[in-house]
Structure 1
Amino acid sequence: MHKFFYYSLLALIIVGCTPYGSPKEEVQPVQEYREELTEDYVERVNNKYKEPEKKQKPQQKQQQVDIKPNRDSLVDIHKLWWYKKMHSEESKKAPVTLKDLYVKTLNHSNQVKVFSDIPIIRSTGIQEAEGEFDPVIYAEGGYNRVNEPVGNVLKTGDDNDFKENELYFEAGIKKKFSPGTEVQVSEKLQRIQNNSEFTDPNPQSIATLSVSIIQPLLRGAGIEYNESLYRLAKIDSKIAKKEFKRQLETHLLEVTRAYWALYLAQASLTLRREMVKNIEDINREIKQRSELDALQSEIYHTESALAFHRARIIRAETVVKNSRDRLLTLINDPQYIYDSDTLVLGDIPFTKWNDIELKKSLLQSMRNRPELEQAYLQIRASTIRLNMTKNELLPILDGIVEFAFTGLRAENDMGGAIGDQFAGGDPGARFGFRFEYPIWNRKARARHTRRQVEKRQLINQFKTTMENVLFEVKVSIREVETTYQEFLARQKAFVAAQKEINALKNRRVLETVLQGNKGVSSFLQALLQSQNNYLETQFQLVKSMIDYNLAITNLKRSEGTFLSFENIETVIEEDENGLPMWRTVINSYEDKYTSK
């Protein structure tokens, strides 16, 4: 009988591991999903953006050249007065670069801490799914009293009422295994005393050791089905990590924008202060010429311009403060809470042109964008859920095997009863099955249909995401090219405005030599107008340079290379309450666009 018990258990486990039902869709590794889903897009990119042939028609060759921005820079930005003033050694006692701010953001930003908790929360689902297979210890005890009339003298003898007192205690352990097998081992102890003449011994102690095995044969059978929740939890954890990467990129991109917005605000303030000095000089000179050739209206005009630009300085100072506070809000570094003025920008804007290949950028985005990684994993998870519903379409058919070892002693000899469990002959046994199947099975069919539609939806959603990613890359590259062309055009406008001022100053000297002091005020008015134009061209020049740097950063984000994720190390630590938390560290940072 003991051998039969082991053979029965082995047979049920083997049957439970056997895949039943309709063929399941293969759950491919993520890499295979990526290659399969992106195959058409990679082929389309490779065919559309082929390397130009050696022999090419003149018109096509001209078009190929035209899409490249003009690289001839008219102005050396690093030699302009405002640039030197902003980046002089006196104003950069403790400068911080964008990389420094990234590190500070990762260490202190509350928003980053919110993002970093997402993978921790999702990873608990893995442990929760593993908990389905944890052993369960249980115990139950109580007292039963029976007092009921009987209609059969063989039950009690002479008494018309059957009276029984029972004390019982049952404890055991049960566990579910990967094939779906449920095993339960329990020990039940009873002390029974009644008024039946046929109970012997009376009172009596009973000990029963039972082993129960239930093995699903159709629905719920197999390792693949029963470990599906665990595999889904692992996929969900990976999706959370990709989501963390996407949100972290978005936040650091906001830090980058705030950084350059502050740079632009400080440059604008520097330019406007210099403009006020120039207008003050003109206003002072016009007032001095009030008795020579300057009209009262010209004096009022210069005073109005001076008041206007002084008011603009007030606004510019507010913009600087707001931009600085916006940047510090994204970082949350306690170093700047009480002394935000110590934040001094140290990065130098990038002004050179680096060749950008559209084909290379498109292929990089397919490999690196976290949104696409999430889409791959979601489709993989949908396949697992679809296979689960295919299994749930099957009827419930469970095989049941149960064995019991019983010992009996008189009075309160419970120890002897426990020993008699194994001293007797073969154990008692029960073999059976349980079958259940809804007539129309509409619930399972509806779930199966829903999972099929969901997978189709996710595939279409992936295609939509892919199209949007490719669109973003194209727009980002065009924006880089456009902003650089604008930067070069702003240089031309700046050079022309500078030449205009120099020409007016030279003309004034000439007119002074030819006509003496007469007519100088008109040149001062013209110089005032050119100063306004000169200020605007310088501001637009700085803005176009900042726009170019932001366009480069946005291109890296659209390519999925803004964060070199392999250089971001996440270490799981414990907070002050002993809860797990992620600490994110940048090991190294290489900017392929601005490293030269």
Structure 2
Amino acid sequence: MSTLIHDGKCAEKNESIHVRRGRTECLLLALLLAGCGRPQVQRTAELEALAARSGEIERVQLKDQSRSEPVSIERATEELAARVVEPNAVPHGAVELTLEEARAAALTNNLDLKFHLVGPSIAEQSVDEERAKFEWTFFGSAGYSRSELGDEGNTVSMQSYDTGVAIPLQTGGSLQAGLPFSRADYDADDIGGVSSAAVSVSYIQSLLRGAGTRINTHSIRIAVYEKDIVDVRTKLLAIAILGNVDIVYWQLYAARRELDVRREQYKLAEDQLDHARRKVEAGSAPKIEIVRAEAGLAGRLEDVINAETSVRDRERELKRILNRDDLPLGVEIDILPTSEPEPIGLDLDAEAIVAAALDNRMETAELELRLAVDELNVELARNRTLPDVTFDYRYAATARSGSLGGALGDIGGDSLQDHAVGISAVIPLGNRAAQARLQRARLEKVRDQIDRDRLRQSIRQEVYNAVDELRQNWRRILAAEQGVVTAYRDYKVEQSQFQLGKRTSTDVLLSASRLADAQSRRIRAFAEYEIAQVRLARASGTLLGLGRLQIR
């Protein structure tokens, strides 16, 4: 009878084991199926619409985009001629702008400048990220297991825990202290529970490859230098952006003055047409003079149109740089530059400016930092050619007891002391990869040294060219002043000769064109002189103006 009972219990246990195994297999199968298959990407409604549009190319009829009824060439020509003579006021008025106001607005609002000013903050976070490599780490784990002992169906339940800290060292080693403890419980009547606890300390130190604080702080120093490189690049870009404010300002100044000249030429051509008509009516000139005057008037109209377009382009570029709320890109607002050029003759010492440029230019600072990075990379590559030799020491104090509290209490007294020390080495045969990396690091340093010399030569040439450009534009101003005086005198002579019947309308209009060209040359010479000063300052790594600018 007892044998039957025993066999029944064994059968029940085996059935229970099979049930548990079956459940476990089903769970594993479900997890496997969930992890397989094609992954699905769920888009938002906006992204789904964008994805749908990417496969089609839309077509447009520009006449459908017109806000008013399209007009004929004849009607549009009449309206344009009337507007050239008396320009309509723009819907949103005009804004007077000084050069200093433009600089201040760009420094405050320019989106390109704001974009680049984020770079140093990102680089600073990279430095903090590298410095965190030596932070202490707390670790902990807990586990549970249940195992069968033999064929009798007896089981043991094991609970294990571990906690401690890991400390990476700047010397190239690591220190770890832990407190592992566990509890084993048996379901057999003649075996009780057993608990164990220990204190463990391990120390690992590299002796050759990867040893030393300089090698192990290599990535931190690289990150610091890279941040410095970002800083100098940011300053370089800020100089370029802020210097571009001055350039576009003077380009707009020249475009507006050019428009004034072209409108004045149109009015002169109209006056010439009136003179021709009166002379024809008086019988002192043939009718062909009216045709000549009308042809000259038509030619002046295209010049005005081109000048107006140039003004709008320069205004829009300046609006983009300034990014002021009262100067939106899509709204037609006249920007009237009120600062006037102030050219003066200068006797510049080109060699002194070159010396200042070599000291101030951020490109040279960037290359010096890049050479410092190259030196660190050579140092690291040289260290990686060494054998990998590691020293290892481990200590553990272990105690066992019937209860977990007893085991923990016995660690300091009745415990087993374990000490282990060792040394290991890995020596590559040939070491070709490490030697190649070292040689590559050295060649990269040589290349950057050559690049530094190339840059210095380029800076010298740029400064010499900028000095010559400034001198050239000063002489252009002097020549343009004389050109305007003589061209105006020639126009007056031709006009008086026309009244006497000794010149035709064509001669007068050609003289007026020469006057306009002379005035345009003078305007461009004044504007180019101011722009040449900006370029010379930028070539020396500085900005025009008073005071220092903080870009951080």
| TM superposition score normalised by structure 1 | 0.72
Q: Which residue of 1 aligns with 2:358?
A: 366
Answering whether residue 551 of structure 2 is matched by residue 559 of structure 1, we say no
Q: What whole-Å deviation, never above 9, does each CA across 1:10-41 have from its counterpart, x for those lacking one?
A: xxxxxxxxxxxxxxxxxxxxxxxxxxxxxxxx
Q: Which residue of 2 aligns with 1:139?
A: 140
Answering whether residue 318 of structure 2 is matched by residue 308 of structure 1, we say no
Distance 1:564 1:127 in 2: 37
Q: Which residue of 2 aligns with 1:401?
A: 393
Q: Which residue of 1 aligns with 2:313?
A: 322
Q: Which residue of 2 aligns with 1:582?
A: none
Q: Which residue of 2 aligns with 1:88?
A: none
Q: Which residue of 2 aligns with 1:546?
A: 527
Contact 2:269–2:509 (CA under 8 A) maintained in structure 1: yes
| Residue type of the alignment partner of 1:371 | E
Distance 1:311 1:218 in 2: 79
Q: 2:508 aligns with which of 527, 538, 559?
A: 527
Distance 1:392 1:129 in 2: 20
Distance 2:518 2:551 in 1: 46
Q: Structure 1 residue 146: deviation in Å?
A: 4.6
Q: 2:449 aligns with which of 444, 452, 459?
A: 459
Q: Structure 1 residue 240: deviation in Å?
A: 0.4
Q: Structure 1 residue 114: deviation in Å?
A: 2.0
Higher relative contact order (CA 8 A, sep 6+): 1
Moved more, 250-259 or 439-448: 250-259
Q: What whole-Å deviation, never above 9, does each CA across 1:112-142 have from its counterpart, x for those lacking one?
A: 1221122222222211110110111222221
Alignment of 1:268-417 (within 5 A): 268-291=258-281, 292-337=283-328, 339=331, 341=333, 343-410=335-402, 413-417=403-407
Distance 2:185 2:430 in 1: 51
The 1:546/1:492 distance shift into structure 2, 3 A limit, reads same
Distance 1:166 1:202 in 2: 13
Distance 2:367 2:547 in 1: 20
Q: Structure 1 residue 391: deviation in Å?
A: 1.2
How many residue pairs end up in the alignment? 458
Distance 1:566 1:457 in 2: 38
Answering whether residue 435 of structure 2 is matched by residue 445 of structure 1, we say yes
| TM superposition score normalised by structure 2 | 0.77
Q: Which residue of 2 aligns with 1:73?
A: none
Q: Which runs of 5+ in 1 are unaligned?
A: 1-91, 150-158, 513-518, 572-596
Contact 1:101–1:331 (CA under 8 A) maintained in structure 2: yes
Alignment of 1:165-184 (within 5 A): 165-184=157-176
The 1:194/1:255 distance shift into structure 2, 3 A limit, reads same
Q: Structure 1 residue 379: deviation in Å?
A: 0.2
Distance 2:364 2:546 in 1: 15
Alignment of 1:140-159 (within 5 A): 140-147=141-148
Identity across the alignment (%): 23
**3-state SS, counterpart of residue 503 of structure 2:** helix
Alignment of 1:458-537 (within 5 A): 458-504=448-494, 519-520=500-501, 522=503, 525-537=506-518
Moved more, 442-451 or 161-170: 161-170
Distance 1:162 1:445 in 2: 61
Q: Which runs of 5+ in 2 are unaligned?
A: 1-92
The 1:234/1:446 distance shift into structure 2, 3 A limit, reads same
Q: Which residue of 2 aligns with 1:592?
A: none
Distance 1:427 1:563 in 2: 75
- The CA RMSD over aligned residues, in Å, is 2.7
Distance 1:567 1:426 in 2: 70
Q: Structure 1 residue 228: deviation in Å?
A: 1.3
Contact 2:399–2:416 (CA under 8 A) maintained in structure 1: no
| Residue type of the alignment partner of 2:99 | L
**3-state SS, counterpart of residue 289 of structure 1:** helix
Distance 1:103 1:177 in 2: 49
Contact 2:202–2:393 (CA under 8 A) maintained in structure 1: yes
Contact 1:501–1:531 (CA under 8 A) maintained in structure 2: yes
Q: Structure 1 residue 351: deviation in Å?
A: 1.6
Q: Which residue of 2 aligns with 1:211?
A: 201
Answering whether residue 205 of structure 2 is matched by residue 228 of structure 1, we say no
Q: Which residue of 2 aligns with 1:588?
A: none
| Residue type of the alignment partner of 1:332 | N
